[in-house]
């Protein structure tokens, strides 16, 4: 049962991360399309946001593995 729970937790974490990254990138592309001269600052903020969005699923997967192999 714990194997199933760890798999579901890892899958939902990956799904949430993918949705979050998609939203961040789409809004950045929209911002660059509206104001092309602000591409540099928007890309910098986007990469910081991607790091934050990607950290949460990685932490969730690590926690699910820790609970699985406990």
Question: Which H/E stretch holds residue 29?
Answer: helix 2-34
Quote the pLDDT of residue 24.
Answer: 95
5-64 pLDDT per residue, tens: 888 988 999 999 999 999 999 999 999 999 999 999 999 999 999 999 999 999 999 988
| CATH number of the CATH domain containing 56 | 1.20.20.10
Token pair, residue 3, equals 């194997």
Quote the pLDDT of residue 28.
Answer: 96
Quote the pLDDT of residue 16.
Answer: 92
DSSP class of 35: -
Structurally, the chain folds into a number of domains equal to 1
Quote the pLDDT of residue 25.
Answer: 95
Do 31 and 42 touch, CB atoms closer than 8 A?
Answer: yes
Quote the pLDDT of residue 70.
Answer: 80
Cα gap 55→48, rounded to integer Å: 11
Domain range for residue 13? 1-69
């Amino acid at each position: 049962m714990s194997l199933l729970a760890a798999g579901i937790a890892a899958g939902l974490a990956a799904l949430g991360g993918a949705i979050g990254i998609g939203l961040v990138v789409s809004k950045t592309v929209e911002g660059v399309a509206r104001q092309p001269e602000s591409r540099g600052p928007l890309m910098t903020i986007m990469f910081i946001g991607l790091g934050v969005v990607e950290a949460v699923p990685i932490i969730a997967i690590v926690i699910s593995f820790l609970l699985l192999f406990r």
